[in-house]
Structure formats: structure tokens, C-alpha cells
């Protein structure tokens, strides 16, 4: 066995010590000495009290045992010997003094209390860190669950029957989220499930509502009755009318087949419920402030709309005045231009025709140039009519007359290609006004005609209609789940009613 001299041994061991702090593997390769031998030398040096902190450690990183060995070894050294020792070991005399002072102060009561407080804070910080790590894991699991639900169900699962296969998949997603750190309550809330539903799904996969035997309702329409409803809707007189117009029209003839909702269900079942012509989805109307009409000629609303010509880019102007209470068209005119003078003349003729100069109405309009012209304002003052205008930049404060314009332009008879001459447009509007006032059943006034309500004839008509419904209920009571339809007169009408403020 090759013998290693003490000088070489000291040189190799010195490379393991500060200030070099080389690794055992590096020294073994450099000196040609086995790693086992170097480990033996280092352990023996530790046993003899020589500070050997280990590889890749600075003096500030030495263990308490190594620092204590240095303090004991230098306790009897003079200042000169201490300086020589520190240079050999890669230390500073100040470091040894700090280590010694630290060992002397550990046993003091103040340091014990500080150490205890530090340990308490460390435990609290560890708990807080664990809590935050748990919350972070739960948030990540919920994000994954949310993506799985969106990809699998497309965001439309809630509110419909969940098949057994989807139940199993959903349970698997929730369990996966729980395994990743999410709580059950949070996972179920994200999935839109209650804990009761979760427990029920654990015990039974199958939803028996799909295979349940359901008896037919006793008040179900027969096939013959459904065909009768379809036949009525297909008649030429009712072909352009919705069920809301057909049902009261039949009631006026003493005929009752079914309710409006039943008409719609039958038509929908046969694929005959669609938006027709130029009809679009109704826009939401925001109510505002207000006038109240308890009878005819108390509140009027008026506006001007464009009437197209056959020449593209040119229009006539339809001036139209509507009674708020009865919905009757009380005044109308078609002109080639829009002006306050023509509007003033129309209002004066309407007041004379309705005979309400002694009790002039409120006249509501928007903020157009003709509506706010000085000529019209002077005429309203002369007739003692109270003017009213919509709020600035609010397009739905004059909803009743706008609704009338929509009815005018969406009936089948409306000439979508436009008019050729002014007299042709005036004749068409005159026919429309006659039809609207005396033939059209208005949904806002219990489906009576505006002219009937304006003359006060709606009370008797609605009473007769109510008797027809009560007779039909007496003949087949099983088809009525409650009272008959409300056919009482509509009563007062509010223009832009104020919203009630809820108490805080």
C-alpha cells in the first residue's frame, strides 16, 4: 500500500478547509487520493476538534459544532497567535469574538423569550404559507374544473335533464378537482349542483324521469280539437292575425275554442310560430316620468314619421296624433315637408274635431324641430294645451305613438315599395286610420277597438265577452286551472309611469 507523507496529507486536508473549501471529489482528482481516504481524514479532523464545516460553505455557514470547536481551540491563544490561526483557517478575529458572544448570550432570559417568540412567528408563518398554498391549489383546481365544464357542456347544463353518462362525467370532474385541492362545496358551486343532488347522484346513476310513465292530462285537447284550432288559424280572415287577436275575435262571435297560450302551443307543435314579414324582436322600453289619462281627450301623443316614395331617398311626412286613453288616431295628415306651421294647423283641426276646446288635453311629443317650433308653441298657448316633451337623448319617452308607427309599417297592406304621389299616400293613411280605429283590436285595451273605447262602448262589449268565457268554463271546467280571463276595462293609462322607490 502506498504511504502518504504527513506534508501531503496536511496539504490535501487544507484544501478541504477555508479559505479553499474544495469538494472531496475535486481534491481526490487533483491529488490522486481516494475519496474514502479523504472522508476518513476529514472525519478524524472533526473528532480532534479541527473545524471542518464541509464543502462549499463559507465561515458564516459553519455549524454550531464547528464554531464551538474554534472557540475552544483559540481560548488560550494570544492576539498574535490568534491572528496567525485566523489566517490559516480563513477566519477573522472579529468572527470568533462574535461567535463567543453569541454562545454566552444564548442562555440569557431575554434571548430565550426572543427565541420563543421567533419560533412562534415561524410556526404562524408556516401555517399561513400552508393556507395560501392550499388556497392556490384550490383556485387552480377550480379553473381546471371550469374549463372542463365549459368544454363539455358548453355552459348550458343548468336547467335541463342530465343524462346518466353526463352525470358520471360531471362526478369525475368534481372528484378530480377535490383531489387537486378544491373543497367539495366550492366544486359543487362551480358545477351548479347542490349537496343534496351530489349525494343523490352518488347512490343512483339513473334518472328515472326519462323512463317514467306519465298519464295524459284529463284536460288535454283531442286531435280533432287541435285540427279545429289549426283550421281557424288558416282561415283567410285570421291568416294575418296572431292568436292574441284571433281569440277575442272568436269570443265576439260567441265562440270559444281555447286560450291564447293553447293556440300558441298548438301552432308551435306544428311548426307555425315564427316572426313574419319585417317583424323583429321587441326592444326593451325604459319607463320615465309621466302623465295619467282617465278618459278620452285628456292626454294626446303625437309624432312625425317618414313615408317613403318610390324614388329612393325621398319621403313624405306623416303627422299623427293619438289619444293615450283609447289609442284612437284622433288626427293625421301627410305633407311633403316638415314644419311647425303644418303641425299647428293639424292640432287646431284635431281639437275642433274632438270638441275638447273647453277641456284642452296635454300634448306630448319628442324634441324634434317641428315639435318645439315657436309657431306650434304659440298655437298650443292659444288653445290652452299643456305641452310636454321627452327627455333629451331618450328615444323611448314617446312609446305609444312609436308603437302605432310600428303597427302602421308592419301590417301586410303596407306598400314597402313606397308611394308615387302625395294624394295616394293620403288615401292610404285615411284607410289605415279607419281600419285601426274601427276594426283593429288593440292589445293594450283588452282587445277592443280604439273607436269603441273612445266612445265608451268597451264596457258592454267586455262584459259580453266575459260571459262567453264563463259559459265555456261551466261546460268544461277541467280545462280551467283558475279564474277566467280578465275582461274588465283597462282603466287609466300612464304615459311613462314613475318607478316606485323601494325603502332602504
Q: Which helix (H) or strand (E) holds 340?
A: helix 340-354
The vertex-69 CA angle with 63 and 70, nearest 5°, equals 95
Give the separation between CA 33 and CA 9, rounded to whole angstroms: 10
Strand, coil or helix: what is 329? strand
What contacts 164, CB < 8 A, 6 or more positions away?
205, 206, 207
Bridge partners for 321 per DSSP? 302, 331
Q: Which helix (H) or strand (E) holds 305?
A: strand 299-308
For residue 140, give Cα distances in angstroms to 136, 181, 256, 305.
Answer: 6, 9, 61, 58
Residue 154 has a pLDDT of 59
Residues 63, 53: contact at Cβ < 8 Å? Answer: yes
Q: Which three cell numbers stand for residue 492?
A: 287609466
Per-residue confidence (pLDDT) for residue 424, from 0 to 100: 96
CA–CA gap between residue 45 and residue 14 (Å, rounded): 11
- 3-class SS at 330? strand
Of 501, 379, 400, give the one whose Cα is nearest residue 445. 400
Intervals of the chain under pLDDT 50: 1, 54-55, 502-504
Instruction: Please tell me the predicted confidence (pLDDT) of residue 500.
Output: 60
* pLDDT at 503 (0 to 100): 43
Q: What is the dihedral of CA 104, 109, 110, 111, to 10 degrees?
A: 50
Could you give the count of Cα atoms lying within 13 Å of 171 in the half-sphere of its Cβ? Answer: 17
Q: Which region, left, alpha or beta, applies to residue 23 given φ > 0 means left and ψ of -120 to 50 means alpha?
A: beta
Q: Which residues of 223-240 are buried (b: 16+ CB within 10 A; e: fewer)?
A: eeebeebeebbeeeebee
Q: What is the pLDDT of residue 259?
A: 93
Q: Which three cell numbers stand for residue 262?
A: 293553447
pLDDT at 447: 96
| Residues counted in the chain | 504
Q: Phi-psi category of 128—alpha, beta or left, where left has phi over 0 and alpha has psi -120 to 50?
A: alpha
**Homologous superfamily in CATH for domain 291-460:** Ribonuclease H-like superfamily/Ribonuclease H (3.30.420.10)
Half-sphere exposure of 108 (CA within 13 A, CB side): 8
Grid cell digits, residue 475: 261546460
pLDDT of residue 448: 96
- The pLDDT score that the predictor gives to residue 77 is 84
**CA–CA dist 133, 141 (Å, integer):** 12
Taken in order 163, 165, 166, 171, is the CA torsion positive or negative?
A: positive
Amino acid at each position: 500500500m502506498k504511504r502518504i507523507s504527513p506534508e501531503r496529507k496536511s496539504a490535501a486536508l487544507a484544501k478541504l478547509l477555508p479559505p479553499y473549501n474544495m469538494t472531496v471529489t475535486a481534491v481526490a482528482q487533483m491529488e490522486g487520493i481516494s475519496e474514502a481516504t479523504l472522508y476518513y481524514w476529514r472525519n478524524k479532523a472533526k473528532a480532534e476538534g479541527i473545524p471542518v464545516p464541509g464543502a462549499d460553505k463559507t465561515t458564516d455557514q459553519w455549524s454550531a459544532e464547528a464554531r464551538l470547536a474554534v472557540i475552544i481551540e483559540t481560548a488560550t491563544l494570544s492576539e498574535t497567535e490568534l491572528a496567525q490561526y485566523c489566517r490559516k483557517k480563513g477566519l477573522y478575529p472579529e468572527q470568533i469574538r462574535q461567535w463567543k458572544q453569541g454562545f454566552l448570550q444564548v442562555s440569557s432570559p431575554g434571548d430565550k423569550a426572543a427565541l420563543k417568540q421567533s419560533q412562534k412567528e415561524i410556526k404562524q408563518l408556516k401555517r399561513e404559507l400552508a393556507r395560501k398554498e392550499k388556497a392556490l391549489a384550490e383556485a387552480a383546481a377550480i379553473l381546471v374544473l371550469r374549463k372542463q365544464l365549459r368544454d363539455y357542456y358548453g355552459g348550458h347544463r343548468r336547467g335541463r335533464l342530465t343524462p346518466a353518462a353526463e352525470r358520471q362525467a360531471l362526478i369525475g370532474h368534481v372528484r378530480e378537482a377535490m383531489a387537486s385541492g378544491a373543497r367539495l362545496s366550492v366544486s359543487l358551486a362551480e358545477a351548479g349542483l347542490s349537496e343534496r343532488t351530489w349525494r343523490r347522484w352518488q347512490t343512483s346513476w339513473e334518472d328515472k324521469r326519462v323512463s317514467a310513465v306519465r298519464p295524459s292530462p284529463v284536460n288535454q285537447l283531442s286531435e280533432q280539437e287541435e285540427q279545429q284550432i289549426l283550421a281557424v288559424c288558416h282561415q283567410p280572415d285570421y291568416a294575418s292575425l296572431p292568436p292574441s287577436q284571433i281569440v277575442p275575435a272568436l269570443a265576439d262571435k260567441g265562440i270559444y275554442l281555447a286560450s291564447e297560450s293553447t293556440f300558441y302551443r298548438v301552432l308551435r307543435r306544428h311548426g307555425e310560430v315564427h316572426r313574419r314579414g319585417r317583424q323583429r324582436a321587441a326592444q326593451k322600453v325604459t319607463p320615465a316620468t309621466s302623465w295619467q289619462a282617465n278618459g278620452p281627450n285628456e292626454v294626446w301623443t303625437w309624432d312625425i314619421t317618414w313615408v317613403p316614395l318610390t324614388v329612393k331617398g325621398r319621403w313624405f311626412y306623416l303627422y299623427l296624433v293619438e289619444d293615450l286613453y283609447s289609442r284612437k288616431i284622433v288626427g293625421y295628415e301627410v305633407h311633403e315637408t316638415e314644419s311647425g306651421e303644418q303641425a299647428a294647423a293639424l292640432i287646431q283641426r284635431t281639437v275642433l274635431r274632438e270638441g275638447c276646446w273647453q277641456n284642452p288635453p296635454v300634448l306630448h311629443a319628442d324634441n324634434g324641430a317641428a315639435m318645439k317650433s315657436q309657431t306650434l308653441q304659440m298655437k298650443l298657448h292659444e288653445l290652452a294645451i299643456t305641452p310636454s316633451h321627452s327627455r333629451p337623448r331618450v328615444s323611448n319617452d314617446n312609446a305609444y305613438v312609436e308603437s302605432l308607427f310600428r303597427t302602421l309599417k308592419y301590417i301586410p297592406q303596407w306598400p314597402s315599395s313606397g308611394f308615387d304621389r302625395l294624394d295616394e299616400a293620403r288615401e292610404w293613411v285615411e284607410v289605415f286610420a279607419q281600419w285601426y280605429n274601427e276594426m283593429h283590436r288593440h292589445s293594450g285595451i283588452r282587445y277592443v277597438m280604439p273607436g269603441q273605447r273612445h266612445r265608451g262602448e268597451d264596457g258592454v262589449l267586455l262584459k259580453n265577452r266575459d260571459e262567453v268565457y264563463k259559459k265555456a268554463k261551466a261546460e268544461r271546467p277541467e280545462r280551467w286551472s283558475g279564474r277566467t280571463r280578465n275582461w274588465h276595462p283597462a282603466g287609466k293609462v300612464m304615459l311613462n309611469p314613475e318607478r316606485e322607490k323601494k325603502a332602504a
